[in-house]
Amino acid sequence: MDIVVTVKEIRGKCPTYKVGDSFTLKAGYQLVSDSPVCMHGLAALMPYYNALRVSEPAQWGLEGKEDSSKAYIQCPDPFDCTNGGTVIFEISKQQS
């Protein structure tokens, strides 16, 4: 099972991502991306990526309001206090 991480929303200004950008974690450990990947975004994903491969987002309190099969996390950049941007990521499963 692969994990696809897509930029759903940006609050503020992110120097790395734009809405719609995505990357894939193949087999839970191979990062595949056609564009740069931000370490802050990866840090937010680290606690959940393996769990989300084998369980439902609701088990971790990450399920979407409209689609409970998708999980949502955000990067730790506090855009209200910085010149950066907080990125909201949508995480979905994909068969390998």
Tens digit of pLDDT for each residue in 28-42? 889 999 999 999 999
Mean pLDDT of the chain: 94
Contact 54, 89 (CB under 8 A): no
Domains held by the chain: number: 1
Tens digit of pLDDT for each residue in 7-19? 999 999 999 999 9
Q: Model pTM greater than 0.85? A: yes
Q: Would you state the structure tokens that stand for residue 59, as one six-digit string? A: 């088990």
Show the domain range for 87.
Answer: 2-94
Tens digit of pLDDT for each residue in 49-59? 889 988 999 99
Contact 33, 23 (CB under 8 A): yes
